[in-house]
Amino acid sequence: MRILIVEDEKPLREQILSLMATEKYACDTAADGREGLFLGSEYDYDLAIIDLGLPLLDGTQLIRELRSKERNFPILILTARGNWQDKVSGLEAGADDYLTKPFHPEELRARIHALLRRASGHASSVLRYGPIAIDTSAKRVFRDDAEVELTSFEYNTLTYLAMHAGKNISKSELTEHLYAQDYDRDSNVIEVFVGRLRKKLDADGSLNLISTQRGLGYRFNLDKQ
């Protein structure tokens, strides 16, 4: 999951960033609205966290611009306490949720998790695909009720594919969502991780869990239940 953080106050920005890091989300940051607009227009994020009080381009305006460009990833806005009008104008501009500063890290984590879950069209936090179950809140994976230990990249790769079950996902789409901005594109990490996932979750290949469409990408082949 790739997240855009637009926050002008450095300490808060860093705090959010490190929180996101513990969750293993790939993050890009912007310190003002204009930079946020650039990044948000340029890349396909899974979620954006936007402070409403921003220099150069107001948060509300930023959201409006992003929405008018058909960027429709979920947006969580941060507002100063008690500033009802701001929240509402933010929501009106197209934000999906808000959080008042100061906030508990735990709460931010929960809201982001909820937004990501909803955005992917899954209501429950346990995704079932035949014998494979993914608990997205605990970040644990099971095959036939036995837990399969995955590393965080293996887990992220799997969930991204599973949340787009049936679709061909190109390697570049995977790298874009699993890694932050500056990532060396020509590498075969993705192949390696897909290989590991196949080995760990479908060693004998009987599930045909992840198939490769040469030139088009990978496809998670189990139906959601």
Partner DNA sequence: AATGATCCATGCGTATTTTGATCGTTGAAG
Partner DNA sequence: CTTCAACGATCAAAATACGCATGGATCATT
Size of the site for a second copy (CB under 8 A): 35
Cβ closer to DNA: 22 or 85?
Answer: 22
123 contacts a second copy (rule: CB under 8 A) = yes
Mark residues 82-111: x for contact with a second copy by CB under 8 A, - for none: --x--xx--x----xxx-------------
Among 55, 48, 57, 56, CA closest to 28: 48
Cβ closer to a second copy: 205 or 215?
Answer: 215
Distance of CA 116 to the CA centre of its chain: 6
139 contacts a second copy (rule: CB under 8 A) = yes
Among 115, 113, 141, 116, CA closest to 127: 141
Cβ closer to a second copy: 32 or 135?
Answer: 135
From a second copy, DNA, none, which one binds at residue 212 (CB under 5 to 8 Å depending on kind)? DNA
> For a second copy, which residue of 122, 143, 196, 224 counts as binding (CB under 8 A)?
122
For 132-150, the DSSP string reads: EEEETTTTEEEETTEEE--
State the Cα–Cα distance between residues 147 and 133, nearest whole angstrom: 9
Among 142, 111, 105, CA closest to 126: 142
Coil, strand or helix at 220: strand
- Segment 160-189, which members bind a second copy (CB under 8 A)? 166-168
Which residues contribute to the site for DNA (CB under 7 A)?
21, 149, 151-154, 171, 179, 184, 187-189, 191-195, 198-199, 212, 214-217
